[in-house]
Each structure stands twice: as C-alpha cells, then as structure tokens.
Amino acid sequence: MFPTKVKRLLQLRHTLWGCASLKAPCSRLVLGIETSCDDTGAAVMDESGKILGESLHSQKEVHLRTGGIIPKVAQQLHRENIERVVQEALERSHVAPSRLSAVATTVKPGLGLSLGIGLDFSRRFVRQHNKPFIPIHHMEAHALTVRMLQPVPFPFLVLLVSGGHSLLAVARGVDDFLLLGHSLDEAPGDTMDKVARRLSLIKHPQCSTLSGGQALELLAKDGDRSRFPFRTPMGQTYDCCFSFAGLRNQVNMAIMKKEAEEGIEQGTLLSCVKDIAAATQHTVASHLAKRTHRAIVFCKENGMLPSSNPTLVLSGGVASNEYIRKTLSIITETTGLHLLCPPAKFCTDNGVMIAWNGVERLREGKGILPPNVDVCYEPKALLGVDMSAEVRAAAIRLPSVRIKIHN
C-alpha cells in the first residue's frame, strides 16, 4: 500500500515514539519511582511534563512517632507499599506498562535500604515489560523540577535544601552541574527535625502531625527571634559550604538552660518554644542566604550565569518554608537575580520529579539503559563536578545585607 520509503519512515516513527496510532500526536510516557528516603512515590508523565497519574505514600507519621527515621522501618514500609503505589499511578493515568517508553528510578543518593527497594522493584519491572531504565540522581531531580512547570533555560544557579542535603550548584545541562558548596555535616531539614524533636513538638497540639521543619515554621510565626541570638555558622569561612551541627548544638544548650530555669524535665514543652523556633529558623535562613549570596558573586565574577535574566532556583523539602523563601528573595533582589521556587508539593519528595527527570533524560538520550543492565544504588553521591575548593580559594567577602522579615 505504502512505498517502502514511507513504510520505513512510519516504522521509525513508531519505534521512536512507542505510539500505536499515527493519527493523534502522541508523546512518550515515563514512569518515575522514588524511594530514596521516607516517601514511596510513583508517577506517569508524558513528554510535555503533563502528570497523567501519581501516587505517594508518606512514612512521615510513623517516623515522627519513633523519633526519627529508622532505616529498617523505612525499608519495610517501602517494601509494603511500592507495588500498590506504582499500580495506583499506572491506573490513575490509564496507561498499561506496555505503553511506557521508559522507567526512571532514584538510585542515588539516599538511605541504602530504601533505595534498594525502589531499585529492585524497577529492575524486575523493566525486565518483565522489556523497558529501558533511567537511573536518577535524587538531587538532579530536585534541581530540574522547576523546568517541568515553566521554561527555565540553562545555566541557572540552584540551592537545594532538604532533610538529607544542602547544596549550591550551577545547572548547565540536564546532567551537567558545577557544585559550588555542600553541607559539611548535617542537612538543614535534619537539623530542624532534630531541634523539633528535642523540643518535643510532637506533643504540641498544633504540631503533632507536622515534620520538624513545618512545626518550627508554624511556631516561629508567633515567636520573637531576638530572644535567642544564635550565631550564624561559618562566619569566618569564605566559601559556599554549609554546616548546621554547630547551630544544633547552640540550640540544644539554650534549651537545656531554659529547662533548668523553668525547672522542667527534657520531654516537657518549654514556654519559649515559639521564640526558639523563630531564632532557629532565622539562623538557618541567614546561613543559607549568606552562602547563596557568595555563590551569586562567584558566578558573576566568573561569567557562569547569563547576563540577561540570571536565575536562582530554590527547591528541596526545606524550600517549602516561606521565611526561607523570603530571606532568599532579599538576596536575589539585592543581586539582580530572578528567584524561582516550585510550589511546596513539588519541593518535597515525590514520584513526579523523578518522572520529569526521566523525561528530560529521554529527550536528550542521556543515561538510558537497556532493561537487563545491572545498576547498583549509591547512598552517597555528589552532584556534578566539585568546585568548592575554587570557591574557597576566591575567599569572597560579602557586603552586609539586612534581613528583616515580618512574620
């Protein structure tokens, strides 16, 4: 019926786009799977970034009750939920596995036991359905999520702050990052979770179901931060790395002092929790702001960002914090950058961001593996090329910026 050349073209189109009907324009579909920490997430997305179906199971309440994430418990909960979560995402999208063009799964960094569940499930799934596999770096996914919502051309500066990480990087391409700074000890979300736990905020009527960061943000709204003047970390280190362990120590000392003054035991709510929350949140925000300010100056001095409309993207679970967003907006206004933050539901972990990372990689043909290739998970994995030594060597002193935010 068709001349051979046309037939070949049609076959090629069919192979490239995995689409049965040639009439309707059809996009490739990616299933994204996330299990790197305490959320079991899955989503099906088309190539334009449209979410066709998603499902998310959060373990937050269990870990709140046990006073932190116990890796074995997280693993067991992922194991119990992964099949259902993936099934739900597929059903809600009305997409059969056979119609998928690829499966993208977080394989690094994260809790080994949690990553293992997502990876094992995905390995079986891609073999069973004979689908290409796209291993995903969790922080790359956080960094690229914003591009699912609006066109943000490379390069841009990105600050990623979550329960497991804090980093500043220049995103130059889907798989091309220059790392300017990262946490030397714990992550800001981890610090906020631990402070909230030390304050026993789970016993506070307004906070019992909130993550530590959410609880501190809520209480800080009515707190007076000036009652606890915590020192901003690393004031004498002129680089873009972060440290939060010292801040946690300062907060713990202040809590112990107050407990002694009020004559109460650890585990009882202090009368000044709101002030401690406000001071902790402010110090975290101000540390993030100073390191980001230096990263912006470094990028400008080295021509690493476009002169027209340079952008800072802020993402990761901690980026849902309004106070932190406002603090960073003061820095971007001062330095002439444009600040972009995905809405809170796309800042925290989910399957959607992994599916989008898969779409970005599929479009560029980067890191797409055949179904039978063996992939290992990596609990620790830096994002991109580490430039933190160069940033430190530049020893940039910053002009002071007044950070005053009304609650």
HEC string for 68-106: CCCHHHHHHHHHHHHHHHHHHHHHHHCCCHHHCCEEEEE
The correct pick among 81, 106, 321, 357 for binding ligand KG4 (CB under 6 A) is 321
54 lines the binding site for ligand KG4 (CB under 6 A)? no
Q: Which residues in the 316-355 window bind Zn ion by CB under 5 A?
A: 349
Q: How far is the CB of 281 from ligand KG4 (least distance, A)?
A: 7
Nearer to Zn ion, 349 or 360 (CB): 349
- SS3 call for 315: strand
Cite the beta strand spans of 112-212 per DSSP E.
Answer: 133-137, 156-161, 166-173, 176-182
> Minimum distance from CB of 138 to ligand KG4 (Å)?
7
Q: Across-strand partners of 26?
A: none
Residue with smaller CB distance to ligand KG4, 116 or 164: 164
Q: Is 181 in the site for ligand KG4 (CB under 6 A)?
A: no
> In the complex, what is the shortest distance from the CB of residue 311 to Zn ion, in angstroms, rounded to a whole number?
21
- Burial label, 140 (beta-carbon count in 10 A; 0-12, 13-18, 19+): buried
Tell me phi and psi for residue 149, to 5 degrees. Answer: -95, -30
User: CA 312 to CA 62: how far, in whole Å?
Assistant: 34
With CB under 5 to 8 Å by kind, the binding choice for 191 among ligand KG4, Zn ion, none is none
Question: Is 162 one of the binding residues for Zn ion (CB under 5 A)?
Answer: yes
Structure tokens at 69: 């994430």
Euclidean distance between CA atoms 348 and 230, whole angstroms: 27
Any contact of residue 93 with Zn ion (CB under 5 A)?
Answer: no
Nearer Cβ to Zn ion (162/357): 162
- C-beta of 62: minimal distance to Zn ion in Å? 18
Report the largest interatomic distance among the alpha carbons of the chain, rounded to a whole angstrom.
90
Q: Give me the half-sphere count of Cα atoms (radius 13 Å) on the Cβ side of residue 141.
A: 33
Q: Select the span of 185-193, 220-228, 358-366, 376-384 touching ligand KG4 (CB under 6 A).
A: 185-193
Residues 210-229 that bind ligand KG4 (CB under 6 A): 211-214, 217
Q: Assess contact for 321 and 219: CB atoms under 8 A.
A: no
Q: Report the residue number, 352 or 391, with the smaller CB distance to Zn ion.
A: 352
34/239 with CB nearer ligand KG4: 34
Cα 279 to Cα 283: distance, rounded to the nearest angstrom: 6
Q: Please give the Cα distance from 45 to 37 (Å, whole number).
A: 22
The 10-49 contact track toward ligand KG4, x by CB under 6 A, reads ---------------------------x------------
Does 318 bind ligand KG4 (CB under 6 A)? Our answer is yes
CB 126 within 8 A of CB 371: yes
Q: Pick from 40, 75, 320, 357: which binds ligand KG4 (CB under 6 A)?
A: 320
Among 40, 105, 114, 162, binds ligand KG4 (CB under 6 A): 162
Contact footprint for ligand KG4 (CB under 6 A): 37, 162-164, 189-190, 192-193, 211-214, 217, 316-318, 320-321, 348-349
Contact footprint for Zn ion (CB under 5 A): 162, 349
